[in-house]
Amino acid sequence: MRTSFLGALAAAVLLPVVAQAQVPEIRLAQQFSMGYLQLNVMEHEKLIEKHARIFGIPDVKVSWLTFNGPAAVNEALLSDSIDIASGGVPGLLLLWSKTKGTPQEVRGISALSSQPFLLNSRNPAIKTIKDFKETDKIAVPAIKVSVQAITLQMAAAKAFGPKDFAKLDTLTVSLSPPDATIALIGGKTELTAAFSVPPFQYQQLENPAIHTVLNSYDVMDGPHSFTVAWTSSKFRDKNPVLYKALIAALREATEIINKDKIAASALWIADSKSKLPPEMVAKVVAGPQVKWTMTPEATTKYADFMASVGTVKVKALSWKDYFFPEIYDLEGS
């Protein structure tokens, strides 16, 4: 009995020491979109700092960075310029496939949201993706690797046949969603369409000359994860207490959004310095097809497609293959 008591006492004494030994810094990256609302809430409410203190880390330096496209985000993660990446599901899958089985293996932390993104066009002749001509240009955040680019390939495979999945790739150009929106609305460039993100896609549709050609939910045959967060095994293993605080912060941020979506939308406006009407942003955050959830949804559809066309070299057997165990209790897919 005495030995057991002493062992427990030693563990209690050592826990704060282990926690304080963690590197007190975490650098998080996001992209141009409203799909990272949990990160906005976490920054404003200092939730990582809050939960780090709860778990025994009194001080932690938290840095927030913004990138355009998964290629830039993944390069930053591999070069140790950031610790936490976020973006569309394909960005996670690409890096997981590339690093699987190495000490730097990358896996998902959790999903952030399920919501559709829209392919909008200002050309009235374009009713479906079959109507695009060689002279058309389609803006995506990053060619070939962004969630929009991969979804366009999936749509092409459905429309033209699996062998022609890349038929529209030559029409795509890399533009950040804000720049693509300006170009599409202005109508003074060769850009005729943009596969965008909320809220920019809805800002585009405020222009009566612009219409929706394709909804990603139609391509995926239902709801799917739009944004997810990921990191390396190296960071997670080296910083177990800080990682635990990150998971707790993500959970609390998700709860805050779902409790008051209007207030959460105001945080996004403040963070992005957006000039969009608050009513419009709130409408997007609370949209009927939008879910703020840590549960991965239909991510295996991306994994299966990307493996079938050779974009990733590893075939996933389950969504749990490319996510860390902390969310295995969720009913993901």
Contact 247, 84 (CB under 8 A): no
Tell me, yes or no, whether 5 lies in a domain. no
Q: Which residues pair with 61 in a beta bridge?
A: 25
Tell me, yes or no, whether 10 lies in a domain. no
User: Which pLDDT belongs to residue 22?
Assistant: 42
Domain of 135, CATH number, reads: 3.40.190.10
DSSP per residue over 83-99, as a string? SBEEE-HHHHHHHHHHH
Q: Are strands 191-195 and 106-114 parallel, antiparallel or unpaired?
A: unpaired
7-8-12 Cα angle (round to 5): 120
Q: Does 99 share its domain with 144?
A: no
How many domains are contained in the chain? 2
Q: Are strands 85-87 and 225-232 parallel, antiparallel or unpaired?
A: antiparallel
Say how far apart CA 107 and CA 173 lie, in whole Å: 28
79-47-226 Cα angle (round to 5): 60
- The residue from 155, 188, 219 where one domain ends is 219
User: Which pLDDT belongs to residue 99?
Assistant: 96
Contact 114, 297 (CB under 8 A): yes
Kindly give the confidence (pLDDT) of every residue in the chain, 333 residues in length, as a single tens digit, with 9 standing for 90 and above.
Answer: 444 444 444 444 444 444 444 447 999 998 877 889 999 999 999 999 999 999 999 999 999 998 877 888 999 999 999 999 999 999 999 999 999 999 899 999 999 999 999 999 999 999 999 999 999 999 999 899 999 999 999 999 999 999 999 999 999 999 999 999 999 999 888 899 999 989 899 999 999 999 999 999 999 999 999 999 999 999 999 999 999 999 999 999 999 999 999 999 888 888 777 888 888 888 889 999 999 999 999 999 999 999 999 999 999 999 999 999 999 999 999
Around 112, how many Cα atoms within 13 Å sit in the side-chain half-sphere?
Answer: 27
Residue 30, C-beta contacts closer than 8 angstroms, at least 6 positions apart: 36, 39, 64, 65, 66, 67, 86, 87
Range of the domain at 194: 118-219
Q: Does 32 share its domain with 181?
A: no
Say how far apart CA 283 and CA 169 lie, in whole Å: 32
Q: Does 231 share its domain with 110?
A: yes
- Say what the pTM is: 0.89
CB atoms within 10 A of CB 325: 8
Q: How far is CA 143 from CA 52, 148, 195, 323, in A?
A: 38, 8, 11, 25
Question: Is the alpha carbon torsion for 266, 267, 270, 273 positive or negative?
Answer: negative
DSSP per residue over 254-285, as a string? HHHHHH-HHHHHHHHHHHHT--S-HHHHHHHH
Say how far apart CA 97 and CA 94 lie, in whole Å: 5
Q: Does 199 share its domain with 251?
A: no
Q: Does 122 share its domain with 44?
A: no
Element (H, E) at 6: helix 2-20
Tokens of 61: 């330096």
**Amino acid letter at 158?**
K
Q: Does 188 share its domain with 253?
A: no
Tell me, yes or no, whether 189 lies in a domain. yes
Tell me, yes or no, whether 3 lies in a domain. no
Say how far apart CA 291 and CA 126 lie, in whole Å: 30
User: Which pLDDT belongs to residue 9?
Assistant: 40
CB atoms within 10 A of CB 218: 11
Tokens of 203: 């800002």
